[in-house]
């Protein structure tokens, strides 16, 4: 069975939703398909951070900012990697995107925009999020999509998996999709891949990043790399997977290997958010970085280089009792309870016993703690740590295991600034576009987490592509 539309959008998430909405508003007939049971994709698990310079909210707050400074910050933080043309386009589109959300009732978290320190910070307050994080974006877009569905301009098909792209004379003409009723062909003048990244596909992660550790992820289960698997057989090229950067501070339970939870089990390790009262050690019990470095990206890279891309955060009882908790969602009492449980945290009255329980080399940990305590006493740390107010000296002792975990796929399909999927030789796959995490966070963020440079480009590029396709009198490839 075959059906014809002007536009087929595969993926009803961060990028696919605004693309479908804007294209439909421009009068196109849109088929929007998603494998999930609801729209939203990764917005259900995302922090939903946005970054934009020159917005109305910045002007009202008296913040002097512009896309040029935003662009310079992204290049600096991302080590001048990624795709400069796409980064430039993203920062130029960002303010309009945030103002558009504002116009549609987006519930900004009080106090935003801010300088966010969970990643390497920008030079200006330009990071925003909603009161419900990623879900705030979803609930702002939901009525806009519903309006187009009600008007008959968008056909939404949930629980629908795109199995392969179809072509005629080398031009993509749509896709074969699988539904509960069986396969069917959806034909369209243009097809857009907006089905997210590959964070829930260990085999694809391993193939694209063979020199990285095993996949530990917070990705939505639907993030299986569908866009790459659909486009590569037609010549689509993948790039920037080598820029893979983990998120700092996520905790992997032994009872649930391979998964982490950004919302309930995230240790706050950025020194601007919480000066360290602990030390970090690898499986040999050795410290490997100054825990109070201002550069979060250096921390992320240092963790990735440790055996198993894992480390343990070690402290004593006074460190647990003092100040802001290491894991905010736990607090001090829950921290102690989790340590007694012994799944992701451990407690013992002596360091050797703690090491055995946690899986750390005991002599190595004991040597490291002695050396660190001496550094605290003398006020000079060989690794250059400046915050030296808390020795590890008063039992009980605690250890929490953290891992280099994936939040966003850095690799993705190569596209030009019209979001046309490109082959290795630079030629476009006719009739095929890609946006969102399908093009990889590395394209718009470089070799680091630049705050808001995953969600904002996904939304902005989706809007831009939908509008541009709708501006044509006929949808040409």
Which residues lie across from 311 on neighbouring strands? 402
User: Do 164 and 265 fall within a single domain?
Assistant: no
Q: Please give the tally of structural domains in the chain.
A: 2
At 459 the pLDDT is: 98
* Average pLDDT of every residue of the chain: 95
| Residues 454, 321 share a domain | no
Size (the chain), residues: 477
What is the enclosing helix (H) or strand (E) of 93? helix 84-103
Find, among 100, 51, 102, 122, the residue nearest to 455 by Cα.
Answer: 51
pLDDT digits 0-9 by tens, 96-150: 999 999 999 999 999 999 999 888 899 999 999 999 999 999 999 999 999 999 9
Same-domain check for residues 397 and 414: no
Ramachandran assignment for 236, one of left (phi > 0), alpha (psi -120 to 50 degrees), beta (any other): beta
pLDDT for residue 204 is more than 90: yes
Residue 400 belongs to domain with CATH number:
3.90.700.10
Domain at 51, CATH number = 3.50.50.60
* DSSP character string of 259-313: B--TTTSB----TTTS---SEEE-TTS---S-TT-S-HHHHHHHHHTSGGGEEEE
pLDDT(17) > 90: yes
Print the domain residue range for 121.
5-240+410-474
174/152 Cα distance (integer angstroms): 20
One domain, residues 161 and 207: yes
Whether the Cβ atoms of residue 8 and residue 31 lie closer than 8 Å to each other: yes
Q: Which of 348, 375, 405 is the last residue of a domain?
A: 405
* Digit-coded pLDDT (tens) for 60-110: 999 999 999 999 999 999 999 999 999 999 999 999 999 999 999 999 999
**Which of the listed residues 405, 420, 444 is the one where a domain comes to its end?**
405
Chain segment 240-289, per-residue pLDDT in tens: 999 999 988 999 999 999 999 988 899 999 898 899 999 999 999 999 99
Q: Are residues 278 and 156 in the same domain?
A: no
The pLDDT of 459-472, averaged and rounded, is: 96
Query: For the whole model, what pTM was predicted?
Result: 0.94
Under the banding of pLDDT at 50, 70 and 90, the label for residue 193 is very high
Indicate if 278 and 225 belong to the same structural domain.
no
Choosing from 351, 380, 405, the residue where a domain stops is: 405
The pLDDT score that the predictor gives to residue 85 is 98
Q: Is 103 exposed, middle or buried (0-12, 13-18, 19+ CB in 10 A)?
A: exposed
Output the six-digit token pair for 324.
Answer: 């802001």
Same domain, 128 and 178: yes
pLDDT tens figures, 291-329: 999 888 889 999 999 999 999 999 999 999 998 999 999
Q: Is residue 265 located within the same domain as residue 222?
A: no
pLDDT in tens, 155-187: 999 999 999 999 999 999 999 999 989 999 999
Q: What is the pLDDT of residue 475?
A: 47
Same domain, 316 and 273: yes
Q: How far apart are CA 229 and CA 231, in angstroms?
A: 6
Each residue of 343-391: pLDDT tens digit? 999 999 999 999 999 999 999 999 999 999 999 999 999 999 999 999 9
At 2 the pLDDT is: 53
Q: Are residues 225 and 87 in the same domain?
A: yes
Is there a single domain that holds both residue 386 and residue 272? yes
Question: What contacts 24+ positions apart, CB below 8 Å, involve 360-367?
Answer: 360/281, 360/283, 360/284, 360/285, 360/312, 360/399, 361/283, 361/284, 361/285, 362/285, 363/285, 364/281, 364/284, 364/285, 364/286, 365/281, 365/285, 365/314, 366/285, 367/285
194 and 280 housed in the same domain: no
């Amino acid at each position: 069975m075959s059906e014809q539309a002007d536009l087929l959008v595969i993926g009803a998430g961060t990028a696919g939703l605004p693309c479908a909405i804007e294209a439909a508003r421009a009068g196109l007939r849109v088929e929007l398909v998603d494998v999930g049971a609801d729209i939203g994709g990764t917005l259900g698990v995302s922090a939903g951070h946005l970054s934009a310079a020159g917005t109305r909210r910045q002007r009202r707050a008296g913040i002097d900012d512009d896309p040029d400074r935003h662009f310079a910050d992204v290049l600096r933080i991302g080590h001048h990697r990624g795709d400069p043309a796409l980064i430039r386009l993203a920062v130029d589109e960002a303010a309009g995107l945030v103002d558009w959300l504002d116009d549609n009732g987006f519930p900004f978290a009080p106090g935003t925009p801010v300088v966010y320190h969970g990643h390497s910070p920008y030079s200006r307050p330009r990071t925003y999020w909603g009161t419900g994080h990623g879900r705030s974006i979803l609930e702002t877009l939901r009525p806009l999509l519903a309006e187009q569905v009600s008007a008959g301009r968008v056909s939404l098909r949930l629980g629908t998996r795109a199995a392969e792209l179809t072509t005629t004379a080398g031009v993509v003409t749509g896709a074969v999709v699988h539904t509960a009723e069986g396969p069917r062909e959806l034909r369209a003048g243009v097809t857009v891949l907006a089905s997210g990244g590959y964070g829930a596909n260990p085999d694809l992660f391993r193939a694209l990043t063979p020199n990285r550790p095993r996949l530990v992820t917070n990705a939505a289960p639907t993030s299986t790399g569908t866009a790459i698997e659909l486009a590569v057989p037609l010549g689509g090229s993948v790039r920037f997977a080598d820029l893979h950067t983990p998120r700092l501070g996520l905790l992997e339970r032994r009872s649930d290997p391979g998964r982490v939870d950004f919302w309930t089990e995230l240790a706050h390790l950025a020194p601007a958010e919480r000066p360290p009262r602990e030390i970090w050690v690898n499986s040999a019990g050795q410290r490997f970085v100054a825990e109070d470095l201002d550069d979060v990206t250096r921390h992320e890279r240092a963790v990735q280089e440790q055996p198993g891309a894992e480390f343990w955060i070690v402290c004593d009882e006074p460190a647990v009792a003092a100040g802001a908790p290491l894991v905010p969602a736990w607090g001090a009492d829950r921290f102690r309870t989790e340590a007694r449980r012994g799944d992701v945290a451990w407690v013992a009255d002596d360091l050797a016993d703690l090491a055995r329980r946690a899986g750390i080399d005991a002599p190595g940990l004991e040597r490291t703690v002695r050396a660190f305590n001496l550094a605290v006493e003398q006020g000079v740390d060989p690794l250059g740590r400046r915050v030296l107010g808390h020795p590890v000296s008063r039992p009980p002792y605690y250890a929490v295991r953290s891992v280099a975990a994936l939040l966003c796929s850095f690799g993705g399909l190569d596209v030009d600034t019209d979001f046309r999927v490109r082959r290795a030789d630079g030629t476009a796959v006719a009739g095929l576009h890609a946006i969102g995490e399908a093009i990889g966070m590395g394209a718009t963020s470089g070799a680091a987490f630049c705050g808001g440079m995953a969600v904002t480009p996904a939304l902005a590029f989706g809007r831009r592509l939908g509008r541009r396709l709708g501006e044509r009198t006929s949808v040409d490839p």
